[in-house]
Chain A
Amino acid sequence: MTELGLRVAITLTQISVIVGIVIITVLLLTLAERKVLGWMQDRMGPMEVGPYGSLQPFADAIKLFFKEDIVPAGANKFLFTAAPLLALIPAFIGFAVIPWGPDLTWEFGGLSIKPFVISDINIGILYILAFASLGAYGIILGGWASNSKYSLLGGLRSAAQIISYELNVGLAIVGVLILSGSLSLVHITNAQAGGFWNWNAFAFPAPQIFALVVYVISTVAETNRVPFDLPEAESELVAGFFTEYSGLRFAFFYLAEYANMVLVSCVASAMFLGGWNAPYPGTLLSLIGLPSLAWIENTMWFAFKTYSFLFLFFWLRATLPRLRYDQLMRFGWKVLLPIALANIVVTSIAVFIAQQLK
């Protein structure tokens, strides 16, 4: 009984630490996005709250917290309330299987715990994809329950877009799964150890570089970011599916969007760019005689890769205009899907030949 209690306590601690890190990252991202966008467009970004606007996320959070919570007349109250939660929970739940650091096992109170992954389930990536699809329900229901044309159109667009591009995300990942022979993110990351030439994006016998490009483009579409931000196109649909939302519910949608960005960046770095593995064999800290602290270096590498992907999201947003709807669909189905399929075929053949030659 005490063992169970201890395990629950440890797991809850891990969950709260990781959720805390994700929420802090989201707060940072809201500021970083506005700053980076501003700098790229020769502006300054937020400058008023705190030194150089550094406290802007807290001001935004306080403002959203104290805003009036409006439910529009004619809205379906239950779904209107449920939709932000349906968007938020799947965005956060995926972090349970992300390996943040090396696959260590620490002994604590007679229990062996894995400190850097909450739950190493053997179908990790499938679990993330399944919950990412559930997140689409939050957006669609939010659009429908608002009883507003703009919201409904935003929800519809988002439904079509997420279904189209989720397919490409799934197919882009298949190549990696063939290479590593596992669905567990921990196992996939472990298999990429020992230098950047072992990362799945560059790995022998079938480099997944095209799959990486397809994955990144598709996740930009899946998280409703520019240039695929049709579900929330300001110039066409006011704010898309969250037009009618205000206050804390709006904050939930906002949080979900950014948490989704962090999640897909984590998955991209874990699947394609070696996760917490450094681009050189081993770690520098164990070379200089501190192998017990090597996890710090590994975690930093994971953070660096994830933040690079997030920077790419901002960079794309600062550069590209929004696609038209038919362009979006044509690009997804006629360009990305064939590339992803061809990648699967080529990877399968290459892996088969490599196994025969071994």
Chain B
Amino acid sequence: MTTPSATPTRLNLREWLKTITFYEIFVGMKATLMHLLQYKPVTLQYPHEKRTLPDNYRGMLALLRYDDGTEKCVGCDLCEAACPSRVIRVVSAEVPGEPTKRYSKEYYMDMTRCLFCGMCVDACPVDALGMTREFEWAVYDKRQLHLNKQQLLAIGDRSFPVREKRLEFQHPNTAFFNVAFKHVPPKPD
């Protein structure tokens, strides 16, 4: 067996001088002193100044409304199915008097478990869910993060003041596929 570093090295005068003069310690001390003299802090004084969020920031979830104030949600349960951490619970029901239409009678989100993946937003066929840019949701009681439908709608109301028209007033392609085709002119009002 040969050990790779077992060969005896000659007494290197330079290395020896560096050792006895604490050369490497002085190199480190020069580095810290340079940072002191060229003081450019990377700190952001958080509550007083906030960093700009990226455009696709995924913050607090919210339920949205149409411009006439009616809820977008149709109670299809797809968000509940898409959610990987079982945050969402939807209780779906018929719209009273309109047997062909459904809505979410109750809608709960347990935000203590949410990991903000945005899969529920992708899954929603009617764009009823949205991700806001809110993130300051520290609370003293965990139960305050168990949100009901009214609270989620309120978050949507304060984060998305500009609302879409109802589906039946939009372009048929948009209404059907939930996407807009730019080359097709929109339906006149």
Query: Which residues of chain A have a CB within 8 Å of any CB of chain B?
Result: 36, 38-44, 47, 315-316, 318-320
- Is B39's CB within 8 Å of the partner chain A? yes
Give the size of the chain B interface in residues (CB under 8 angstroms): 14
CB within 8 A of A319: which of B25, B39, B42?
Answer: B25
**Complex: chain A residue closest to B37, CB-CB:** A39
Q: How far is the CB of A222 from chain B (nearest CB, A)?
A: 19
Contacts of B35 in A (CB 8 A): 39-42
Q: What is the CB-to-nearest-CB distance from B63 to chain A, in angstroms, rounded to a whole number?
A: 37
B25 contacts A39, C-beta separation under 8 Å: no
* Cβ-neighbour of A40 out of B25, B36, B42, B43 (below 8 A): B36
- Assuming A318-B32, A319-B29, what are 19 further A-B pairs, CB within 8 angstroms? A36-B36, A38-B41, A39-B35, A39-B39, A40-B33, A40-B35, A40-B36, A41-B32, A42-B35, A42-B40, A42-B42, A42-B43, A47-B45, A315-B32, A315-B33, A316-B29, A319-B28, A319-B32, A320-B25
A318 to B34, alpha carbons, bound, how many Å? 12
Docked CA distance A290–B21 (Å): 44
Chain A residues near B31: list those with CB within 8 A. Answer: 319
B 90-123 contacts with A by CB, 8 A: none
Q: Which residues of B contact A (CB under 8 A)?
A: 25, 28-29, 31-33, 35-36, 39-43, 45
- Name, among B25, B36, B40, the residue most crowded by chain A CB atoms within 10 Å (CB to CB): B36
The CA of A44 and the CA of B25, in the complex, are separated in Å by 24
Total A-B pairs, Cβ < 8 A: 37
A320 with B36, Cβ < 8 A, contacts A42-B41, A43-B43 known? no
The answer to whether A40 and B32 touch (CB under 8 A), given A319-B25, A320-B25, is yes
Q: List 6 A-B contacts (CB under 8 A).
A: A36-B36, A39-B41, A41-B32, A42-B39, A319-B25, A319-B31
A315 touches B29 (CB 8 A): yes
Closest to B27 in A: A319
Task: Determine if B41 and A320 form an interchain contact, defined as CB atoms under 8 angstroms apart.
Answer: no
Within the complex, what minimum Cβ distance (angstroms) separates A60 from chain B?
20
B34 nearest in chain A by CB position: A40
Which residues on the A side are within 8 Å of B33 (C-beta)? 40, 315
Cα A42 to Cα B41 in complex, Å, equals: 4
In whole angstroms, how far apart are the Cα atoms of A315 and B26 in the complex? 11
Do B36 and A44 have beta carbons less than 8 Å apart? no
Q: How far is the CB of B15 from chain A (nearest CB, A)?
A: 16
Which 9 pairs show the lowest CB-CB distances between chains A and B?
A: A40-B32, A319-B28, A44-B43, A318-B32, A319-B32, A44-B41, A40-B36, A319-B29, A39-B36
Q: Are A43 and B41 in contact (CB under 8 A)?
A: yes
- Give the chain A neighbours of B41 by CB distance below 8 A: 38-39, 42-44
CA of A36 to CA of B39 in the docked complex: distance in angstroms? 10
Q: How far is the CB of A6 from chain B (nearest CB, A)?
A: 49
In the assembled complex, the CB of B49 is this many whole angstroms from the nearest CB of chain A, namely 11
Look across to chain B and name the residue whose beta carbon is closest to the beta carbon of A335. Answer: B20
Q: Taking the nearest CB of chain A, how far is it from the CB of B115, in angstroms?
A: 30
Known A-B contacts A39-B36, A315-B33; A320 and B28 likewise in contact (beta carbons under 8 Å):
yes
B40 to chain A, nearest CB (A): 7
Closest B residue to A40 by CB, please name it: B32
Closest CB in chain B relative to A86 CB, distance in Å: 34
